[in-house]
């Protein structure tokens, strides 16, 4: 393949496409294996696949793929999850857990986490099938367009979704497309559709609004800025704290008609949980935030949560949240 000019096929990234998805499509369009394309772009000293390139892509990685596809640097940059900075997380981290971004747990070219999700109906309807940025987010548990739960693994064999491994160990003529499980070759479009459990129309409506905003199909409302997502994350965290011992979940879940059972308390963050557990925590937290002054107070009065739980390791709390929970501390001192 010629160097120094555009490759014969140079598909552009779609509006909400992930970097890894786009790179797989570029390799497929040029009828070369992904690892071959990576060596052509980056040599043998640097490989993009021993890191989570969707979470953070170095400049050298983006500049080279842009050079041969004619894509601008900033268009390529917007295929990464860095675009959620200052909305879902405040500070970029090159390692460790990043707030609201699902953990991939990469080991070389293997992937042991369940950090990628998909909507089978989106993949079915795509003129050009691709994987979306929002599918890497822990709070994106269902598709607001099709109203179906996302899947975070192949329903046939249980393998994580690792479409970049489509040609690993295969001749290029036998390489799978992006729609098939790399492990068992199941067509992900044939996955079973399941509506998302919802406790009431209010939670459902607010959840839809959040997901649409994260997909960039609707403007992000003032109420759904970084402070809101920080509180939502903290409440999910409190419900799994060992110190809380499940008391807050025990208070909330019986009041939600859709509850499928509590989530075991764990030291793992929500970004490392499977999709059903994340969905349970999120609808419970969104229910609390439907009327935080009333519902958090009721939980506190029921001894289902302590003030110290609500503020533990939570810096830069939004003023409205501080005002709500500080009343519990004041009332404790009066008692």
Location of structure tokens 């939600």: 256
pLDDT for 2 equals 47
pLDDT for 58 equals 92
Quick one: tokens of 46?
């640097």
Going residue by residue through the chain, which has 335 residues, state the pLDDT in tens, using 9 for 90 and above: 545 589 999 999 999 999 999 999 999 999 988 888 888 998 887 888 888 999 989 999 999 999 999 999 999 999 999 999 989 998 777 667 899 999 986 544 555 679 999 999 999 999 999 999 999 999 999 999 999 999 999 999 999 998 887 766 667 666 678 899 988 999 999 999 999 999 999 999 999 999 999 987 444 554 568 899 999 999 999 999 999 999 999 999 999 987 567 888 788 999 999 999 999 999 999 999 999 999 999 999 999 999 999 999 998 899 999 999 999 887 765 55
**Residue 11 to residues 6, 8, 130, 174: CA-CA distances in angstroms?**
11, 10, 12, 22
The last residue of a domain, from among 128, 155, 190 = 190
What gap in Å lies between CA 41 and CA 29, rounded to an integer? 16
In a domain, residue 11? The reply is no
pTM of the predicted model over 0.85: yes
The reply to whether 144 and 222 lie within a common domain is: no
The reply to whether 155 and 220 lie within a common domain is: no
Long-range contacts of 27-34 (CB under 8 A, 24+ apart): 27/167, 28/175, 28/177, 28/178, 30/1, 31/172, 32/1, 32/172, 33/167, 33/172, 33/175, 34/164, 34/166, 34/167
The reply to whether 150 and 209 lie within a common domain is: no
The last residue of a domain, from among 140, 161, 190 = 190
For residue 43, give the 3-state DSSP assignment: coil
The reply to whether 222 and 127 lie within a common domain is: no
The reply to whether 207 and 140 lie within a common domain is: no
Location of structure tokens 């390692």: 95
Counted domains in the chain? 2
Quick one: tokens of 15?
């509006």
In a domain, residue 43? The reply is yes
In a domain, residue 7? The reply is no
The reply to whether 31 and 168 lie within a common domain is: yes
The reply to whether 181 and 222 lie within a common domain is: no
The reply to whether 290 and 173 lie within a common domain is: no
pLDDT for 263 equals 87
In a domain, residue 294? The reply is yes
Sign of CA dihedral 240, 244, 245, 249: negative
The reply to whether 135 and 235 lie within a common domain is: no
In a domain, residue 4? The reply is no
Range of the domain at 143: 19-190
Sign of CA dihedral 287, 291, 294, 300: positive
């Amino acid at each position: 393949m010629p160097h120094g000019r555009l490759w014969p096929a140079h598909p552009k990234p779609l509006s909400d496409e992930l970097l890894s998805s786009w790179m797989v499509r570029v390799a497929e369009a040029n009828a070369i294996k992904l690892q071959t394309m990576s060596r052509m772009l980056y040599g043998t000293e640097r490989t993009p696949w021993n890191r989570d390139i969707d979470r953070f892509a170095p400049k050298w990685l983006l500049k080279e793929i842009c050079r041969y596809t004619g894509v601008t640097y900033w268009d390529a940059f917007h295929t990464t999850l860095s675009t959620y900075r200052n909305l879902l997380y405040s500070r970029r981290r090159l390692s460790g857990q990043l707030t609201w971004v699902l953990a991939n747990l990469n080991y070389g070219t293997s992937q042991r986490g369940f950090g990628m999700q998909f909507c089978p109906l989106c993949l079915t309807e795509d003129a050009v099938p691709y994987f979306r940025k929002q599918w890497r987010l822990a709070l994106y548990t269902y598709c607001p367009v099709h109203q179906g739960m996302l899947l975070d693994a192949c329903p046939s064999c249980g393998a994580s979704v690792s479409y970049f491994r489509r040609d690993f160990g295969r001749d290029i003529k036998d390489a799978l497309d992006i729609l098939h499980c790399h492990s068992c070759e199941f067509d992900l479009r044939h996955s079973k559709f399941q509506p998302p459990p919802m406790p009431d129309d209010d939670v459902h409506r607010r959840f839809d609004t959040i997901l649409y905003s994260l997909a960039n199909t609707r403007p992000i409302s003032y109420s759904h800025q970084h402070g809101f997502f920080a509180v939502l994350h903290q409440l999910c965290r409190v419900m799994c704290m060992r110190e809380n011992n499940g008391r807050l979940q025990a208070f909330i879940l019986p009041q939600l008609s859709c509850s499928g059972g509590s989530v075991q308390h764990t030291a793992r963050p929500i970004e490392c949980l499977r999709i059903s557990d994340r969905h349970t925590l999120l609808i419970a937290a969104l229910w609390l935030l439907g009327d935080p002054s009333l519902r958090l107070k009721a939980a506190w009065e029921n001894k289902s949560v302590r003030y110290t739980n609500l503020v533990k390791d939570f810096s830069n709390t939004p003023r409205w949240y501080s005002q709500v929970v500080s009343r519990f501390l004041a009332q404790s001192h009066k008692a």
